[in-house]
Amino acid sequence: RILIMFGSLRTPIGLVFIGISDRGVCDVTFGETDEERYLTRLSKRAPDVHRDRDAVVRALKEFEAYFAGQLTQFTVPVDLRSVSDFTALVLRATKEIPFGRLQSYGEIAQRIGTPTASRAVGGALSRNHVPIIVPCHRVIAHGGRLGGFTGGLAIKRALLRIEGHTTL
């Protein structure tokens, strides 16, 4: 039986909800302003969900530091057990992209040993339950185009600006 505790914080991109299991952060949601809707959505992934700010305080502090420009690498553990093996492989590779750097979908595909799978990499990134910690916003399309982002391109640009990218 999976238990998820969650908390939230206000950030420059709006309200961010963070869910944590016994294994680590399993959900980062932005663009949602209603706690009941967040709770309902998260309840579909775990039967036991509770607000518990103390349980997520370490993750909240890391997010505060990130948005204040004081953190370049998250250290909180991440729980990827709800995704497929391929998606977990893509997310682990994406987590290794350094702060301030960008990689293309094709470069991620190459790094995981499937050089022709750039579209599949994009699909896997669209299923990233822990954006920002697993920095899918640092993945761009071939030729330097911004590509997609589940949270919308305005949020992707805002996150990239925090990391020093002003031309995208």
Q: Which long-range contacts (CB under 8 A, 24 or more apart) does 36-41 make?
A: 38/6, 38/8, 39/6
Active-site residue 136, yes or no? Answer: yes
Q: Check residue 98 and report its DSSP letter.
A: P
Q: Which long-range contacts (CB under 8 A, 24 or more apart) does 14-21 make?
A: 16/63, 18/56, 18/59, 18/60, 18/63, 19/49, 19/56, 20/55, 20/56, 20/59, 20/79, 21/46, 21/79
Catalytic residue among 42, 80, 134, 136: 136
Catalytic residue numbers read: 136
